[in-house]
Structures are given as C-alpha cells and as structure tokens.
Amino acid sequence: MAKTQNAASPVTAYVALGANLGDRAANLHRALELLEQSPGIEVIRASTFIENPAVGGPANSPAFLNGAAEISTTLRPRTLLDRLLEIEKKLGRVRSEKWSPRTIDLDLLLYGSQIIDEPGLTVPHPLMHERRFVLEPLSEIVPNVVHPIFNRTITDLLKSL
C-alpha cells in the first residue's frame, strides 16, 4: 500500500536494477527492500535477475546482474528519482566515471505513460529501447506495456534488437 500521498493518485512506474560489484544479487534484493520500505512506494513485482556483460565503461568490467521492478507510487517523478539516487548512495554507489562498475544502479524507465524531458530527468529512459539487459527483465514482468514514445510494447522492442 502507498504510505504517503504526494501525488493525486498512485502511478505505475518501472525501475531497472543492475549491479556488477560486490554481492550483486544481495545488492539487488536490498535495493528492492529499500524501495518497498520507502513512503509512497509499493513494489508490485520484480523480474528474475539476468547476468549480462558490462556495456560501455572500462575494459574488463565485471558482468552485471540485471532486473526490473514494477512499482506503484504516489511520489512525483522527480521525488521518485531522488529516492532511487538515495538508495544507490545508501548501497555504496560512487559516481566516478560514466558507466564505471557499481554496487547498484537504479534507473527510472517509465512513469505511467508520461513523457518527461527536464534537466536531470528523462522519462521514458532515453536508452531503454536499445538495451537488451533492460528489455529482457522488463518483458518478463510486463510484456504488453507500451512505450509512450514509440507506441510499441516492451516485447516488440525486445524482438527488434
């Protein structure tokens, strides 16, 4: 259940999870627990975790474990993003160079069917349609959700890769 009313009514949002440092599975499970414990957020379901090679970043980066979660939230998009960043920090994420190895990575993929483009917040996530490691776990839990810009389902986007 939503714990705090910050928005008019709950919105369904989707979050990508990834980790390639430390106990990757434990980090992903802990991130889901912290999301669930957050006022205004209810984790509806999460995908299984899938191992993927690191994309971008330094050569020889460790493989990632990736997943996706469906949440119901009363938080507004910016507040939700801020909460994701707080959870990353709590779990030891250090932002040094782009795409460097990390204990946790939480990305806001979709927020209802909204299209948001403001400094520091772009929804839908601008690269999600290009990333198998995002689309695979997302299609496991919500294959028929429609990307609001491309007007194609997650499964269709995955098949086109």
Burial track 59-91 (b if 16+ CB lie within 10 A, e otherwise):
eebeebbbbbbbbbbbbebeebbebbeebbeeb
Backbone phi, then psi, for 75, in 5-degree steps? -80, 145
Catalytic residue among 76, 78, 82, 107: 107
Catalytic residue among 93, 95, 117, 156: 93
Catalytic residue among 30, 102, 152, 156: 102
> How many whole angstroms separate alpha carbon 10 and alpha carbon 145?
17
Catalytic residue among 105, 132, 152, 156: 105
Q: Reply yes or no on whether 107 is catalytic.
A: yes
Q: Reply yes or no on whether 102 is catalytic.
A: yes
What positions carry a catalytic annotation?
93, 102, 105, 107
